[in-house]
Structure 1
């Protein structure tokens, strides 16, 4: 069921069919309610393009899975009302690039969403991970003991939301202050 509530923020993740960022074949959302419960939603998307074998091996989604799935433009129209009124968390800049590229492919302007990067948030909360496995979801899964299936858009979105919630708890600072690019550094007592 498509979320249409008021959330603190929404984490968004996409999987793509090939090296073209516009080739979105799955969109996942992790919607965080004011009490920090997480509602996860995902949908397959027919990218209207060929799949690369590498991508299929990575996420397990192939042409047969998306044959009857809606196209990106159809999904965007349904999700736009909820996405446009929330901060969107992505784990790296890829998801924003993919959404913008897919929007342009279907003749839309890039949506003016309010993006925040959970990699930036993780770097501010756990700077010691730089050079020690890094701040990717794979390493954060191990370090923060997160339980999720990597390279599934709904699961990765939920993991990004959990990274943000853990960083908020660790630093005692709300996500929008941690993720603000104008902030130089935060300490646990900021």
Structure 2
């Protein structure tokens, strides 16, 4: 049975290549139960703009004493080793992580699944595919939006719902190695 690491990051910019991570959350799951939850605020290398403070509730005083990304990278690597990384809009989260890992001189290659893309393919009649809209559609409780671990919990619930309705094998057929490249 595959292991999953559901990830969410909050950043200082809408473009993951332009900003810095300010929070990371990981919820590990073995297909039947949560096995590990981990989150950390991260002191960014760029200021937190007002719109991000309003969106996330994370401000400069919250991250003033937080570790730098280079100090949390080992925990993130341990939490996700041998796991399929699941995220809602995985391109955003993995791009942000890729840039932070590059700043530390490391790489972050993982198999990935995107709940947004899966939902677009498997439930094509919806007009919106953001996490909140999908949680409403599937009746999944979603509290504390735009905080990394809360978003990861909602993404895990969505992933489990999609697996229940469409089958794990069908979802696993859509895993991709990040950075995305053609498979041999």
TM bracket (short chain): 0.7 to 0.9
After the TM superposition, which parts of structure 1 deviate over 2 Å for at least 4 consecutive aligned residues?
A: 17-22, 36-41, 172-175
* Residue 140 of structure 1, aligned match among 115, 134, 144: 134
Question: 1:34-183 counterparts in 2 under 5 A?
Answer: 34-37=31-34, 39-92=36-89, 93-106=91-104, 108-129=105-126, 132=127, 134-148=128-142, 149-174=144-169, 175-177=171-173, 179-180=174-175
Change in 2 beyond 3 A, CA 1:35/1:88 = same
Distance 1:48 1:55 in 2: 15
Contact kept, 8 Å, 2:3 with 2:82, in 1: the verdict is: no
Q: Is the 8 A contact 2:98 2:107 kept in 1?
A: yes
Any gaps of 5 or more consecutive residues in structure 1? 1-5, 182-190
Q: How many residues align?
A: 171
RMSD: 2.1
| Aligned position for 1:186 | none
Offset at 1:87? 0.5
| Distance across 1 between alignment mates of 2:56 and 2:50 | 10
Question: Is the 2:7–2:85 Cα contact (8 Å) retained in structure 1?
Answer: yes
Contact 1:99 1:110 in 2 (8 A): no
CA distance change for structure 1 residues 125 and 38 in 2, over 3 Å: closer, same or farther?
farther
Deviations 1:12-65 (A, max 9, x none): 000012346241000011211332447533211111321100100000001100
Q: Secondary structure at the match of 2:125?
A: helix
| TM-score, length basis structure 1 | 0.81
Show structure 2 runs of 5+ residues with no match: 177-184
Aligned partners of 1:10 and 1:83 also within 8 Å: yes
